[in-house]
Amino acid sequence: MEIVHKPVLLNECLEYLSPVGESYENNALMIDSTLGEGGHTYNFLSKYKNLKVIGLDADSVIQARAKERLAEFGDRMHFYNGWFSDFYANYPEEYEKPDLILFDLGISVFHYEKSERGFSFRYDEKLDMRLNPLTEKSAADLVNELKEEELADLIYLYGEEKLSRRIARAIVEARKGSPIESSKALADIIYECVPGDYRHGPIHPATRTFQALRIAVNGELKRLPLSLFNAFNDLKVGGKMGVITFHSLEDRIVKNFFRNLGKQCVCPPQVAQCRCGGSACAEIITRKPVGPTAEEIADNSPSRSAKLRVVRKIKDATEFHLDGVIGY
């Protein structure tokens, strides 16, 4: 089987989430919240022989690839098909609580190159972008059904696209003739509507719009804050949780949540008596986010924007630790 995706910040994850020297070293359980093709998990299982892993993924197609790749590890590997938000909100009774948790919030290269669901503007594919086929709305549904103002707001909020209004206007005008059903059709509309200098910038002019649609379709930012909260509370005391982000919107959520976990008190100023416990819930292991080396960027360009943040659990978080942690 051809492996398409290279795991980012692999050495850093193996170091910061290592079970070696921990109380759980000889019987550690790790949850890979975003299994993909199993790149991180394969290396963790290969390096740490006493480790077991539960791999989560909403996409059954890519999970089937992971199952084939990870078959050699036998009963050290378990799989869950579904959103990580559902898993952590209703942690299965048959599993022990984890010692290690990893989130890699990037989309696998497999989805761009092999899924044929319109994630990439480089191919002429059905405009879908759903990681899970049970998701109600596809990217085509949003592009063809949203009002112009709603579409512009979506592209601006999730894509941080400064030309969102121009792009939304062009999309609405184009769909009057016929529905926009392919990734190439959408990319061409965007390319034609932006100024000449924007067409030849450092990234393709459709990049941010495609990002925005993917995030919206899969509810990536909406589900993230509560997922982090539930995952942290499912983690054993002394366990470590690491999160890899790729753009400022999701990194802001992770940074703010981890910062709250490290505070002595997160109660609002108007609260007369502390209600959050009055002590830190976590030790912040990475005071600054860990990024890729120059060598990794040269070898694996998608890693260039990756950031890894890691905390160690001291005690459960409270609802107050979500204050200021906004899901979009």
Least confident range of 155-159, 266-270, 279-283, 292-296:
266-270
| Domain architecture of the chain: domains with CATH | 10-110+222-322 (3.40.50.150), 114-218 (1.10.150.170)
Closest CA to 92 of 168, 29, 19, 13: 29
Task: Tell me the average pLDDT across 56-68.
Answer: 93
- Percentage of the chain surpassing pLDDT 70? 98
pLDDT at residue 69 in the model: 95
Mean pLDDT for the chain overall? 93
Least confident range of 76-90, 178-192, 198-212:
198-212
Residue with the larger pLDDT of the pair 43 and 320? 43
For residue 3, name the pLDDT band (cuts at 50, 70, 90).
low
Q: Is the pLDDT of residue 5 over 80?
A: no
Tell me the pTM. Answer: 0.91
What's the CA angle centered on 83, arms 314 and 238, to 5 degrees?
A: 15
Residue 301, burial from CB neighbour count under 10 angstroms (0-12, 13-18, 19+): exposed
Task: Using DSSP, state whether 180 is helix, strand or coil.
Answer: coil
pLDDT at residue 200 in the model: 86
Q: Is the pLDDT of residue 71 over 80?
A: yes
Residue at token pair 């003739």? 177
253-269 pLDDT, tens digit per residue, is 999 999 999 999 888 77
Q: Is the pLDDT of residue 112 over 80?
A: no
Region of residue 2 (phi > 0: left; psi between -120 and 50: alpha; otherwise: beta): beta
> Helices 164-175 and 148-159 sit at what angle, rounded to 10 degrees?
140
Q: Is the pLDDT of residue 326 over 80?
A: no
Closest CA to 66 of 133, 131, 12, 4: 4
> Helices 248-262 and 220-234 sit at what angle, rounded to 10 degrees?
30
27-42 pLDDT, tens digit per residue, is 999 999 999 999 999 9
Q: Is the pLDDT of residue 109 over 80?
A: no
113-126 pLDDT, tens digit per residue, is 778 889 898 889 99
Report how far residue 60's alpha carbon sits from residue 133's, in angstroms, rounded to the nearest whole number: 9
For residue 129, name the pLDDT band (cuts at 50, 70, 90).
very high
Report how far residue 231's alpha carbon sits from residue 87's, in angstroms, rounded to the nearest whole number: 9
229-238 pLDDT, tens digit per residue, is 999 999 999 9
